[in-house]
Amino acid sequence: MIILAILLALVVLWELWMLMIRCRRGHPQWKILRLYRYAHRGYHQKPQIPENSMAAFRRAVDHNYGAELDVHLMKDGNLAVIHDSSLLRTAGVDVEVEDLTAEELAQYRLEGTDERIPLLEEVLELFEGKTPLIVELKPARGNHNALAEATCAMLDRYGVKYCLESFDPRCLLWLKKHRPEIVRGQLSQQFSRHPGDDEGYGKLTLFVLSHLWGNCMTKPDFIAYRYSDRNCATLRWCRRIYHVQEVNWTITSKEEMEDAERDGNLVIFERFDPRG
């Protein structure tokens, strides 16, 4: 009886774990999205071509690459394409993009160049009818729902192939409830290995995100996982059991790219030409 009880408990725990890491699969958009490699924050080439600049996005299109980009919601409802909330690293000013209007944003230049910080609509106009986008939602100050809604509304206006991703599962929950037809992905990594990348979350939340236990609520179509951390056991089981699409970031060499693509993963690359 004791052995039977232990076996039963193990079966129950296995089923619970299976539910916790559950993913969605078979989205028809993969037929297009899987055809491309994706330039991280555009196909930038510093210092001449800054990240997340129109020049970087034009270069990606010209080389027939897709692009990954980051989106923030500004105080006037416009959407800025930039990685950090703070403009200190990219534009040299100590201000946060969520506190700006589009008119104020236009005053700043990227990394000592003449390039402005683009609005999402400018990037979408460039990519319309061309290569696809991986759009990362970068919520701040609890605006996850408003950001997801505004981004989807903007994407609806343009004929662009895309998927959406975020570290914040609340963005994915909004997409699951309100826009289930959109390809959605959970961004993650082994946060314990990267103490500076806590995304503002507590230790328990970071542990849950690292091991993809929030999938039971969000049911993502893909997992975008840091390439150097991709030996995560939960990630391997997500692929084995649910055949979820894995996306690796950030690929910085041809060897890493070939390693990821051998496993059927999509790549987000930077600092090298994938075509050699």
The DSSP line for 6-59 is HHHHHHHHHHHHHHHT------TTHHHHTT--EEETSS-BTTTB-TTSHHHHHH
164 Cβ contact list (under 8 Å, min separation 6): 135, 136, 137, 148, 151, 152, 171, 175, 182, 183, 184, 185
Tokens of 240: 């084995």
Identified catalytic residue from 40, 72, 144, 211:
40
Q: Which of 27, 44, 72, 83 does the annotation list as catalytic?
A: 83
The answer to whether residue 40 is catalytic is yes
Contact by Cβ (8 Å): 266, 165? no
User: Are the CB atoms for 270 and 40 separated by under 8 Å?
Assistant: yes
CB 123 within 8 A of CB 156: no
Active site residues: 40, 83
